[in-house]
């Protein structure tokens, strides 16, 4: 995969710290699963976490806690490597885990406006964001929108263009609240993206804003 658009360093840091919202983490993990550059960057960020851990002052641990831990060793089951998942999913692994046994063809698309449809996805527990798939028809556009919070989009198939460039499979658009964009799918096929938002996406045009409650983005 030839990836041109990557995760923001601030996103990678929050991901490595475990403080990124669950919905955004699914998209970030999905990108990392196919991007060696972001994987390396996430590992570096984890090392920052390890370095900070090592430099912390110690907190006294009770003798009970130590004794109980040592006692439990006999009963603890040693970890074995899980057998590598043999069934190749069409979805990146972190997403496939949320959609066990599902195929792209099984998805129930809900048409939200001419040229684009969505599927809401189950959220990881504790997440306050939204997670969904969007399908923009060949040559169609998504309305111009800004963001109430962060939005991360991973292209799964097809491609789109907007003022930030061309986004093809594996590319990720990691945008914060200040960015507005209007993606247009390329003419040869629909563009399917995995999207996570932290807060409701705001559409610019009054018309779209009026129908927004019905579109449900």
Partner 1 sequence: MSKSDDRALRRQDDQEAQRLLSGVARNLDRTAFAELFDAFAPKVKSVMMRKGATHELAEDLVQETMIAVWTKAGLYDPTRGAVSTWIFTIARNLWIDRHRRDGVMPLTVLDDYDPPSGEAGSDEVVWRKQEAQLIAQYLDEIPPEQKEPLILSFVEGMAQGEIARRLNLPLGTVKSRVRLAYGRLRKKLEVLQ
Among 117, 123, 136, 175, binds partner 1 (CB under 8 A): 123
Q: CB under 5 to 8 A by kind: which of partner 1, Zn ion, none does 38 bind?
A: Zn ion
Least separation in angstroms between CB 167 and Zn ion: 12
Beta-sheet strands, E only, within the chain: 110-113, 116-120, 130-136, 145-147, 151-157, 160-162, 165-167, 172-175, 184-185, 191-197, 201-203
Applying CB under 8 A, the span of 31-39, 133-141, 181-189, 204-212 interacting with partner 1 comes to: 31-39
Our CB check for partner 1 shows the closer of 36 and 111 to be: 36
Least separation in angstroms between CB 192 and partner 1: 21
Least separation in angstroms between CB 113 and Zn ion: 30
Determine, following the binding rule CB under 8 A, whether residue 1 of this chain makes contact with partner 1: no
Determine, following the binding rule CB under 8 A, whether residue 54 of this chain makes contact with partner 1: yes
Determine, following the binding rule CB under 5 A, whether residue 38 of this chain makes contact with Zn ion: yes
Coil vs helix vs strand at 112: strand
Pattern 78-117, binding to partner 1, x per CB under 8 A?
xx-x-----------xx--xx-------------------
Long-range pairs, 153-157, Cβ under 8 A, ≥24: 153/27, 153/193, 153/194, 153/195, 154/27, 154/30, 154/31, 154/92, 154/193, 154/194, 154/195, 155/191, 155/192, 155/193, 156/91, 156/92, 156/192, 156/193, 156/194, 157/189, 157/190, 157/191, 157/192
Least separation in angstroms between CB 206 and partner 1: 27
Interface residues with Zn ion (CB under 5 A) are: 6, 35, 37-38
């Amino acid at each position: 995969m030839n990836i041109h658009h990557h995760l923001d360093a601030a996103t990678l840091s929050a991901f490595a710290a475990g403080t990124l919202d669950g919905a955004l983490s699914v998209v970030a993990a999905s990108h990392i699963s196919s991007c060696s550059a972001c994987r390396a960057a996430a590992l570096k960020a984890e090392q920052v976490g390890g370095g900070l851990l090592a430099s912390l002052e110690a907190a006294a641990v009770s003798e009970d806690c130590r004794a109980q831990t040592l006692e439990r060793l006999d009963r603890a089951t040693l970890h074995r490597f899980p057998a590598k998942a043999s069934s190749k999913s069409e979805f990146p692994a972190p997403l496939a885990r949320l959609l066990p046994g599902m195929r792209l063809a099984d998805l129930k698309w809900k048409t939200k406006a001419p040229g684009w449809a969505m599927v809401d996805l189950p959220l990881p527990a504790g997440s306050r964001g939204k997670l969904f798939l969007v399908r923009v028809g060949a040559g169609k556009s998504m309305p111009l929108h800004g963001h109430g919070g962060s939005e991360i989009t991973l292209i799964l198939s097809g491609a789109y263009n907007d003022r930030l460039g061309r986004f093809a499979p594996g590319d990720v658009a990691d945008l914060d609240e200040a960015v507005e964009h209007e993606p247009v799918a390329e003419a040869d096929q629909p563009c399917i993206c995995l999207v996570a938002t932290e807060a409701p996406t705001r559409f610019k045009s009054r018309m779209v804003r009026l129908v927004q409650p019905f579109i449900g983005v």
